[in-house]
Chain A
Amino acid sequence: MFREKLHNSLDSVSPSPELLDRVSEMMAEEARKPKPKIFISAVKYGGMAAAVCLIVTGAVLIGGRDNIPSVSENSPVVTLSSVNTGVSEEIFIPTTENMREESDTANGSFDGLTDDTGQKEHIVTYENSIPRTRGIKGYRQRPRPTI
C-alpha cells in the first residue's frame, strides 16, 4: 500500500541531533531576550507621529498666510502682500456687485452685442475699473449705420 511505503520512506528522514541542539540553543537565546513593551512603543511612536503632524500642519498654515488677500468691501482691487518679503501687489478681482453682464432680461438668455463682423460679444463691465475709451460705464456703442 502507498501509505505504508511512504511512511517507510519518510521515517528515515529526520533532523540530526546536532541540528536539534543548535536550534534548542537558539530558542533559549531568543527566549532570554526581553520583549519590547507594547504600551511604551505605542506612546513613543504615537508621540513621534503626532509631532510630525503638528509640524506639518503648522508649516502649511504659516506658509498659507502669504496668499491670504486683504480685501476691502467697496474696492474690487485686492492687495496681495507677502509677510516674509514685504512685497505687495494689487490686482483687480471682479465680484458679483461690480460685475454685470449684458443680457436679455425678458427671456433670461444672454444676447450679447454684435461687432462689425457679425459675431456676438460677451461684454462684462466693471465698476471702478479702468474707464473704457468709448461709451459710458464700459458699454460699447453700437456702430452707427452708414448711409
Chain B
Amino acid sequence: MVFMTNLSLRTRESFEAVMRKYADMVYRLAYSRVGNTHDADDVLQDVFLRYIKADKTFNDEEHRKAFLIKVTLNCSKSFVTSAWKRHTDFSEPDENIGSEDSRLRKLEERSDVLEAVMKLGDKYRTAIYLFYYEDMSVSEIAKITSSSESAVKVRLNRARAMLKEMLEGVQFDV
C-alpha cells in the first residue's frame, strides 16, 4: 500500500514536472496557431489531458517533446476547425475577464515581427515557429508535420519571402 501511494505520488509529480517544463512551448505553439490567448488556454488544457490519457512510454526527452508538439498541432487544428469555433461570434469583447485582463491586453499588443508571423498561413506559421523559435531542423519539422523535407523547405522559403515583404530590412539567418 505504501509502495502504491509512493508510486502514484511519483507519477503525479512526474506529470506536473512535465507540464511545468513544456507548458511554455505548448502555449506558444498553440498561440501561434490559434492567434489569441483564450483559445491557447483551451488548447493547453486539452494537450495535457491527452498527454495523461495517452500514458505513453517515451524513449527520451526529444521523443516526449515531439509528441507534445504533434498533439498541440492536432489540438489547435481541431479547435480552429471545430463547429463551435466556426459558429461563435468573437466580435464582442468578453467583460468577465478579471485580474488577467491586463496580462491578456499586454499579450495582444504584439510586436511587428509577431504580427507579421501571425498574418501568415497556418502551415507557414508552424514552419517558421518550429524552425526559428524551437530551433528544429528541416527533417524534424517534416517528421512532426507528416510532410516531406522539400515541402518544409518550400514553406520556409515562401514564408521568408512573405515576411520580407511585410517587414522591410529584416535579415534571416538560414
Where the two chains meet, the residues of A that have a C-beta atom closer than 8 Å to any C-beta of B are 1-3, 5-10, 12-16, 18-20, 22-24, 26-28, 30-32, 35
Verify A27–B173 contact, CB threshold 8 A: no
B111 at the interface (CB under 8 A from A): yes
Count, A-B residue pairs, CB within 8 A: 94
For A3, what are the chain B residues with a Cβ–Cβ distance below 8 Å?
Answer: 132-133, 172-173
Of A1, A9, A18, A27, the residue contacting B48 (CB under 8 A) is: A27
B11/A31 in contact, CB under 8 A: yes
Q: Chain A contact residues: over half helix, strand or loop, or mixed?
A: helix
Cβ contact of B16, chosen from A7, A8, A12, A24, cutoff 8 A: A24
Complex formed: what's the CA distance from A30 to B53 in Å?
8
* Residues of chain B lying within 8 A (CB to CB) of residue A16: 100, 103
Could you tell me if A6 and B114 are in contact, using CB atoms closer than 8 angstroms? yes
Contact with B12, one of A9, A22, A28 (Cβ below 8 angstroms): A28
Contact, CB under 8 Å: A27 / B49 = yes
Mark B residues whose CB is within 8 Å of A. 8, 11-12, 15-16, 19-20, 23-24, 27-28, 31-32, 37, 40-41, 44-45, 48-49, 52-53, 55, 100, 103, 106-107, 110-111, 113-114, 117, 128-129, 132-133, 163, 167, 170-173
Say whether B133 contacts A15, CB under 8 Å. no
A22 — which chain B residues lie within 8 A by C-beta? 45
Interchain CB contact under 8 A, B117 and A6: yes
Check if B8 sits within 8 Å of A13, measured CB to CB.
no
Partner of B133, one of A6, A18, A23, A28: A6
Is B172 in contact with A2, judged by CB distance below 8 angstroms? Answer: yes
Chosen A-B contacts, 9 in total, with CB atoms closer than 8 Å, are: A1-B171, A2-B132, A6-B117, A10-B28, A14-B27, A23-B23, A24-B19, A26-B49, A31-B8
- Note all chain B residues with C-beta closer than 8 A to A28: 12, 15-16
Chain A residues with CB below 8 A from B117, complex form: 6
- CB neighbours (8 Å) of B103 from chain A are 16
Q: Which of A7, A13, A20 has the most CB of B within 10 A?
A: A13
* A9 interface neighbour in B37, B45, B53, B113, Cβ under 8 Å: B113
Contacts of B133 in A (CB 8 A): 3, 6-7, 10
Residues on the B chain within 8 Å of A1, using CB: 171-173
Taking CB atoms, residues of chain B closer than 8 Å to A13 are: 27-28, 31, 37, 107
Assess A6 versus B100: contact at CB under 8 Å? Given A24-B19, A31-B11, A31-B12: no
Other than the known A14-B28, A20-B19, what 18 A-B pairs have Cβ atoms closer than 8 Å? A1-B173, A2-B163, A2-B172, A3-B132, A5-B170, A6-B128, A13-B28, A13-B107, A18-B100, A19-B44, A22-B45, A23-B23, A23-B44, A26-B45, A28-B16, A30-B53, A31-B8, A32-B8
